[in-house]
Structure 1
Amino acid sequence: MKKILNIKYVLIGLGLSCFTVISCVDLEEEVFSQVTADNFFQTDEEFISALGAAYSSLGGLGNHSGLWSINELASDEIVISTKGGDWFDGGVLLQLHQHEFLPDNPFFQNSWNFLFGGINTCNRLIFSFEQLDNPNSAAFIGELRALRALFYYWALDAFGNVPLVTDFTSTESPGTTPRQEVYNFVLSELNEVIPLLPTAKDGTTYGRMTRWAALTIRMKLYLNAEVYVGTPQWALAAADAEEIINSGPYSLMPSYRDNFVINNAGSTENIFVYPYDKVFAGGFNWVMMTLHIASQSTFNLTQQPWNGYQTVEEFYNSYVDPEINPGVQGPVWKGLALEQSEGTIDGRLSNFLVGPQFRADGTRLEDPGVEPFDATGRNGDPDGPPITFMPYLNEIWPQGLRQAGARIAKYEFEMGGTNNMSNDFVIFRLSDVILSLAEARFRLGNTAEALALVNQIRDRAGNLDPFTTLTEENLLAERGREMYVEMTRRQDLIRFKKYGDAWWPFQGMNRPKRVHQPGSHLELFPIPEPQLLANPRLTQNPGYN
């Protein structure tokens, strides 16, 4: 029987290996064997073990200050308010939410390093495998090319004009490649490797690049083609989405929430994930990033959370405001008061942690450091010291309330958990593909099919009243509700030409709202300043000079 080797166990093995190396103190150990290309890359298991280094590059997705953070904080989903002396951080967080991007913001450098670290690792392994006279190597090279295409897809989406490097042996500093050429490269790579990739959904392919994951990347390239290269490709996006839906081994989970539980490896919906593990594959830190310091007692956590990431109030209300979401009613926050009305409830409210908070023993959780309340409501928390997470945000600077903002609860928090979560991080999911097909059909004028697809997602969300008509507004809103914090919102807002609309409270209550037009240079992030200083062949994106 062929041994099944799951990429999660490869990542765990890498973690154990690192631990073993760190634990060694005898630097003069006798070497009994030496791993070389000639004697190691002989079996599938040995190739997969080497692949683990490339997949482990994805481990930076679930933590603070990287690619996920810049996408979410620059959208209308997430904000980190300055809470007195906490979370100002030199203003870099406010820059992201206010769309005042500066090239020296360290979040851009972190994101760049994440992307090109992954690309470099893929290039190194592709080079190593190409030196082998082994028939097994071709399939694994195809897998690495697909993973490299994912990193480049993210790079062209975030930074647009980036270096295009595929030769691991090159010693010359790369120049900037136009976004059109990077797009063409990613598309060409995917076209070549998709026929070579596995189609199975089982333990051998979990957390690895399959035909379906690569098709999803290509679908997203086509979906955003008008933004990336100026030419819409709705029909091609629809074709890829249909293949995934009709031929792929995926189906919607009966419960939206089950895609994000601690043990979510059994999801029938998740197409591509990064398998985190709190001991051996750490880095998924959302429990720390969003929960209140005192929430440690709610979940008996081993460490204190940081009380950082919050949901923008208007975005939270998009789930429950009948004017935005017809037929859905539930808890609607008006200022500091919670109003409860009857009606169907969107099950995706599980994305948020709101309301009174309690210790694990059932007693009320309190914040002894709560801000003193004054009559203006600007400097104080009328619901403290007993902690109540309010979707209401009084301001994002300088005195954001410590209890303000619905907290990110999309992934299940573990009782007795650590600063690292073990939920597998969802990168691609079937419901995104269904909504992408709906959008492509809508753009092509087939509104009846598009409406049926969107209502399929709404029905799974909790028997919500179906839409009777489909508009750009409610299609974008439905994508937002379904795909909350899955690193799609900034991209969606740009594609729908809503990125930077006047209704978006960039500045909270402190300053006039910032508005920029579709096609603004702010739709791309700046090339990080440290990269420009290190490599004079790079060219800064327009508008940042």
Structure 2
Amino acid sequence: MKKIFFRTLAVAVLAAGLTGCANDLNISSIDPQTKPSADPTALLAKCYATLGLTGQKGVAGNGDLSDDEGESGFYRTTFNCMELPSDECVWAWQTDTDIPQLTNIAWNSSSIRTQWVYTRLTYDITLFNSYLSQVPDDEANKLNRAEVRFLRALHYWYMLDLFGKSPFKLDFNISDLPVEKSGKDLYTWIDQELTEIEPQMAEVGAYCNSENFGRADRGAAYMLHARLALNSEIYTKGEIKDYDKAISYCDLLIGSGAYELSKTAKNGYSGYAQLFMADNDENPQAMKEIILPIRQDGQKTRSYSGSFMLVSATRIAGMPDMGTTNGWSCIFARAAMVKKFFPTLSDCPISTEPAPAGATEAEIKALDQQDGSSTAQIVAKAGDDRALFYGGRGGGVRKLQTDAISSFNDGLSIVKWNNFRTDGQPTHDTEYPDIDIPLFRYAEVYLTRAEAYYRKGQPEKAVSDINELRKRANAKQISSITSDMDILDEWCREFYLEGRRRSDLVRFGCFTTGKYLWDWKGGAANGTTVDSHYNVYPIPATDVLNNSNLTQNPGY
């Protein structure tokens, strides 16, 4: 990946011919046509780069899409739609466009943030179709073509999960509008596409090394296949229940011996914490768990949509160990997420007095230690290495729950994403993080198999898989599973702020219903139900008007 990505990225973005903004082109949003002509390796680099970058110049300028380039990236747009409406976090600045709609689950077919994720996904699919139209389907290109087909299937999975349907096209031309493929039909296509390309991809774990880290091998395809199958009942409205398939793909990954959980503490960082640090692309232990990362580098791959957002949005000036000089003070924890680690909110230690004016970082750390509110103390009190929160004095006094969303300090700070290296060496930049984003990691295999066993009526088989993750986190082992909420809570503890929570809540029948309420769900301080049509996002009204093949989701 180092050769394909870093060395050819510049030529890729120039040679691919994709230098215009989608809204500047007189075509539909899924078909941003140009007349591309590029070296296949360079264009392959662009296909991977679109996961972590937003345009041709880096942070901003000459973006792939118009509007706010920083908001337009693959990870940020999908993250916002998966996380901000969920029980995990809140975006503090409710005056930002369409943020209240996401916070309160109250968007509509004209909401700009649902349009952003739709446009990014469909733009990327067109890019992948462009690659596949240019690169010959022969033995020499079979491996690379299979990887791009995987990326296309991944994007169609996001469309299925977020929208329940997608404008669908497998070629690159301007004469035909995309057709609509939805529900069972789209599920079946992704299932068949993955089945076809898996034998053509590199062996499981082949890319878990410094040379190719960031490329998709068969392990990534198996993980996506397992994730697809786990959600089969939702995607097909009960027509298909592929839980056995989910288990079989998990077994292939567990039985491969290619991956391991990151378990061993290093220089004060737990095995879990190391997965989200600046050297997770060099630390062999972290690399063994990360099946497919989005590559990030503080010098070479800068954008406001990747790990820069994850670090900066969760920090405020004055916090110790920020890891960046840019604290946006945007994302804080909802009380519901804190309760996943503490029986009651009052069990979680926080500072109640502000730091003295002009206090140094060392002085703030000493006061936090005195209060018991440092991250290490919160982790110890929770009895779970995954409770990576900060409740100290740095940046102001925090609340554990708020009766009005007005500032970053209305909730506990989340410090899971950490732009420090485990070896203590400096990062590439003091502002832009080096943290690669684990899009798929091995822990998902255990929770996927556990949930699939539970749904098959075999909860006793789920216990050992969940305990594998709890053992790694130094958390108390469980002896039984008494309800599906036990599994849903474990998904949160293991994967919070990793861009998947809404999907899990929908699968457990919790996203819109009264089965589970959390703070500010539906716009109420203590949570309330919302209409079931919010289980999927709307197709942008403009695309429905411009393409007669598309239909709007019910309720919008």
Q: 1:181 to 1:438 in 2, by over 3 A?
A: same
Q: Deviations over 1:52-86 (max 9, x none)?
A: 1111111159965611111101211121134xxxx
Distance 2:245 2:321 in 1: 48
In the TM superposition, residue 163 of structure 1 has moved relative to its aligned partner by: 0.9
In the TM superposition, residue 109 of structure 1 has moved relative to its aligned partner by: 1.6
Point out where structure 2 has 5 or more consecutive residues left out of the alignment: 16-35, 60-69, 264-270, 354-370, 421-425
Kept after mapping to 1: 8 A contact 2:399/2:411: yes
User: Which residue is equivalent to 1:317?
Assistant: 339
The one-letter code sitting in structure 1 at the alignment partner of 2:140 is N
> Is 2:266 the counterpart of 1:273?
no
Distance 2:504 2:433 in 1: 27
In the TM superposition, residue 391 of structure 1 has moved relative to its aligned partner by: 3.0
In the TM superposition, residue 332 of structure 1 has moved relative to its aligned partner by: 5.3
More deviation, 229-238/329-338: 329-338
> Is 2:400 the counterpart of 1:391?
yes
Distance 2:89 2:47 in 1: 29
More deviation, 448-457/279-288: 279-288
Point out where structure 1 has 5 or more consecutive residues left out of the alignment: 1-6, 22-35, 42-46, 324-328, 358-364, 366-386
SS at match of 1:290: coil
SS at match of 1:436: helix
Aligned residues: 469
Distance 2:479 2:44 in 1: 45
Q: Deviations over 1:295-329 (max 9, x none)?
A: 4x854744x42211111112112112279xxxxx9
Q: Deviations over 1:87-141 (max 9, x none)?
A: 4124x111112111112211112111221122111111111112x6x53112221
Q: 1:50 to 1:447 in 2, by over 3 A?
A: same
Distance 2:522 2:316 in 1: 21
> Is 2:124 the counterpart of 1:100?
no
The one-letter code sitting in structure 1 at the alignment partner of 2:90 is V
Q: 1:346 to 1:330 in 2, by over 3 A?
A: farther
The one-letter code sitting in structure 2 at the alignment partner of 1:106 is I
SS at match of 1:434: helix
User: Which residue is equivalent to 2:272?
Assistant: 256
Q: 1:124 to 1:401 in 2, by over 3 A?
A: closer
The one-letter code sitting in structure 2 at the alignment partner of 1:354 is G
Kept after mapping to 1: 8 A contact 2:533/2:554: yes
User: Which residue is equivalent to 1:306?
Assistant: 328
SS at match of 1:259: helix
Matches within 5 A, 1:133-532: 135-199=139-203, 200=206, 201-229=208-236, 230=238, 231-254=240-263, 255-265=271-281, 266=284, 267=286, 268-283=288-303, 284=306, 285=308, 286-295=310-319, 299=322, 301-302=324-325, 304-321=326-343, 331=348, 345-350=383-388, 352-357=389-394, 387-396=396-405, 400-414=406-420, 417-502=429-514, 503-506=517-520, 513-516=527-530, 520-532=532-544
Q: Deviations over 1:370-426 (max 9, x none)?
A: xxxxxxxxxxxxxxxxx1343333322xxx244222233222134785443211111
Q: Deviations over 1:475-510 (max 9, x none)?
A: 111111001112221111111111134422225986
More deviation, 8-17/158-167: 8-17
Distance 1:263 1:418 in 2: 14
Matches within 5 A, 1:19-98: 47-59=40-52, 64=71, 66-82=77-93, 87-90=94-97, 92-98=98-104
Kept after mapping to 2: 8 A contact 1:109/1:530: no
Distance 1:214 1:433 in 2: 12
Q: 1:224 to 1:60 in 2, by over 3 A?
A: farther
Q: 1:88 to 1:195 in 2, by over 3 A?
A: same
In the TM superposition, residue 535 of structure 1 has moved relative to its aligned partner by: 3.0
Q: 1:446 to 1:512 in 2, by over 3 A?
A: closer
Distance 1:196 1:170 in 2: 30
User: Which residue is equivalent to 2:29?
Assistant: none
Kept after mapping to 1: 8 A contact 2:164/2:536: yes
In the TM superposition, residue 467 of structure 1 has moved relative to its aligned partner by: 3.9
The one-letter code sitting in structure 2 at the alignment partner of 1:346 is D
The one-letter code sitting in structure 2 at the alignment partner of 1:214 is A
The one-letter code sitting in structure 2 at the alignment partner of 1:50 is L
The one-letter code sitting in structure 2 at the alignment partner of 1:269 is E
Identity of aligned residues (%): 25
SS at match of 1:222: helix
SS at match of 1:177: strand
Kept after mapping to 2: 8 A contact 1:251/1:269: yes
In the TM superposition, residue 280 of structure 1 has moved relative to its aligned partner by: 1.3
Kept after mapping to 2: 8 A contact 1:439/1:450: yes
Kept after mapping to 2: 8 A contact 1:476/1:496: yes
Distance 1:151 1:486 in 2: 17
SS at match of 2:539: coil
SS at match of 2:293: strand
Q: 1:534 to 1:467 in 2, by over 3 A?
A: same
Kept after mapping to 1: 8 A contact 2:161/2:536: yes
Q: Deviations over 1:440-466 (max 9, x none)?
A: 111112222211111111111114243
In the TM superposition, residue 473 of structure 1 has moved relative to its aligned partner by: 1.5
Q: 1:275 to 1:541 in 2, by over 3 A?
A: same
Distance 1:300 1:431 in 2: 26
In the TM superposition, residue 512 of structure 1 has moved relative to its aligned partner by: 7.6
Distance 2:522 2:553 in 1: 28
Kept after mapping to 2: 8 A contact 1:505/1:513: yes
Distance 1:253 1:79 in 2: 29
Q: Deviations over 1:233-289 (max 9, x none)?
A: 111110111111111500111111111111102321110101111111122222222
SS at match of 2:451: helix
User: Which residue is equivalent to 1:29?
Assistant: none
Distance 2:525 2:494 in 1: 31
